[in-house]
Amino acid sequence: MPVLGIAFLASVATFIGGSFALRFRDRLHLILGFSAGAVAGVALFDLLPEAMSLSEPYHSAATIALFIALGFFGYLVLDRLILLHSHTEDDEMTAVRGSFGASMLAAHSLLDGIAIGIGFQASTALGVIVALAVLTHDFSDGINTVNLVLRNGGNWQQALRWLAADAAAPLVGAASTLFFRLPESVLSLVLAVFVGTFLYLSASDLIPESHHQHPRAFTTVMTLLGALLIYVVVQMV
């Protein structure tokens, strides 16, 4: 079945991206900088336009903005109040934050698979277009998953386990669409929540960490390149 085959390719792309981050973790600040731009780019150039497009017959722009805010401030509450994000060293709580961030990326990858399946439900052409977009940024998803775990005190074994979960998520998501149909009105709101979540991850975690120990212009350039790559890819597909 084409949808499962393409979802498998998305899983492979995710795993390759994460393996890249593990292999070059001694240059983590540069990868973090790139990831920060890529996460923000996915939110602004991919998820946001898709959420707005899907919402047109069902929700106003104000409603989409509200759900973006819920994603952003909801993650803020979890990060600062529940997960107790602070600048003090607390290895156990820091590890929880890394695992939570990785789980959010895995959930996004699950939605990627669902998006592929729904696209093919509409038409083969739309399914292929959605799949191309997913394949291109799932490589960054793999990098981002590994970075979040390592950034928050996890070891490479933990990062590898979360990478495996993230890589499997698109295939699971695509397979699930063989059994149900997710209404576009609901999907648009879910995507809006992820826009807010990803913007928070980029702005409050990845960007400050990439620049903190290595405040160099090249780190900032890597962030811009990450965002630019996602923009170019989205425009191409």
Q: Are 149 and 162 within 8 A, CB to CB?
A: yes
| 61: CB partners within 8 A, 6+ apart | 52
Per-residue pLDDT tens digits of the chain, which is 237 residues long: 577 777 777 778 777 777 776 676 666 677 778 878 888 888 898 889 888 988 888 999 999 999 999 999 988 887 676 554 444 455 555 666 677 777 877 887 887 788 788 778 766 766 776 676 666 567 767 777 787 787 777 777 888 888 888 888 888 988 888 887 778 888 889 889 888 988 988 888 778 767 665 667 888 888 899 899 888 877 876
Q: Which residues of 135-149 are buried (b: 16+ CB within 10 A; e: fewer)?
A: bbbbbbbbbbbbbbb
Q: How far is CA 3 from CA 64, 92, 168, 173, 174, in A?
A: 28, 40, 14, 10, 7
Torsion sign (Cα): 208, 209, 210, 215: positive
At 123 the pLDDT is 67
Cα torsion through 68, 140, 88, 97, rounded to 10: 60
* Crossing angle of helices 48-55 and 184-200, rounded to 10°: 150
Choose among 35, 10, 7, 8: nearest CA to 20. 35
At 232 the pLDDT is 86
Q: How far apart are the first and last CA of the chain?
A: 22
Q: What is the 3-state secondary structure (H, E, C) of the chain?
A: CHHHHHHHHHHHHHHHHHHHHHHCHHHHHHHHHHHHHHHHHHHHHHHHHHHHHHHCCCCCHHHHHHHHHHHHHHHHHHHHHHCCCCCCCCHHHHHHHHHHHHHHHHHHHHHHHHHHHHHHHHCHHHHHHHHHHHHHHHHHHHHHHHHHHHHCCCCHHHHHHHHHHHHHHHHHHHHHCCCCCCCHHHHHHHHHHHHHHHHHHHHHHHHHHHHHCCCCHHHHHHHHHHHHHHHHHHHHC
At 58 the pLDDT is 92
At 147 the pLDDT is 74
- Both tokens assigned to 170: 């698109």
Neighbours of 233 (CB within 10 A): 20
Q: Are 205 and 151 within 8 A, CB to CB?
A: yes
At 86 the pLDDT is 46
At 68 the pLDDT is 96
